Amino acid sequence: MVNEVFQSLVNTNVLFSIIPKGSGNGVARSLGIDMNIKTALKNINNLKSKKIDTVTFNGLPYLGIAGIGFDGFIAKEFSKRNKRGLISYIKVVLKHYKDFKCSKYTISCNNELHELDAFIVAIANTQQYGNNAYIAPRANIIDGMLDLVIVKKHSKWLLPILLFKGFTKTLHKSKYVEYIKSKKFVIKTNYKQVHIDGEPINGEKENIIEILPLSLNILS
């Protein structure tokens, strides 16, 4: 819902706000919006606004995180379930984690070319997926930059350790994770399952992801 609504407000003077009623509330949490609905509603009346960055993935706007690879696959599988929430999401992850294969990626950014195999390639504007699971703890929604997070090939028994690092904001310290900051990424891959703000979409062989600095007015 957040993704659908904000798209029409990019580069306008209209103020946007979020009432955190989602299953993960990743964008709201990253913006520091109170998870208590009554408090969030009261805070709107303070009329404290700021400009934040937004992003486009092949021209499609998103606000928080886009992902290619395992998280794109999980977004599609999760969308088929009737029950939302963290427990349901974890069940989907555990069901498919051990059988998911890495894909090949060619990533262009900062006048550099990176060729690699990856389990997840996430392009983050905010810090977390939701429920305080931090994929990009260094991301800043007002810095005019994107954080590319590459989760490399790893032994599947490492899942509990990677999850722990995600929930403790230390994923960037893992030797299986690489971070790159840039304003634009061009990602070539044959893997087509992608998500933007948790919504599954189809990717292309060449995907262009660009930051739109300070393009949305938000109440927080």
Please tell me the pTM assigned to this model.
0.91
Cα–Cα distance list, 186 to 67, 106, 107, 204 (Å): 13, 8, 6, 11
Q: How far apart are CA 151 and CA 1, in angstroms?
A: 28
Is the per-residue pLDDT at 47 higher than 90? no
Percentage of the chain modeled with pLDDT above 70:
100
Is the per-residue pLDDT at 81 higher than 90? no
Domain residue ranges of the chain, discontinuous segments joined by +: 2-219
Out of 21-30, 63-72, 192-201, pick the least confident.
21-30
For 2-219, CATH gives 2.60.200.40
Q: How far apart are CA 180 and CA 199, in angstroms?
A: 23
Residue reference for tokens 């486009």 = 56
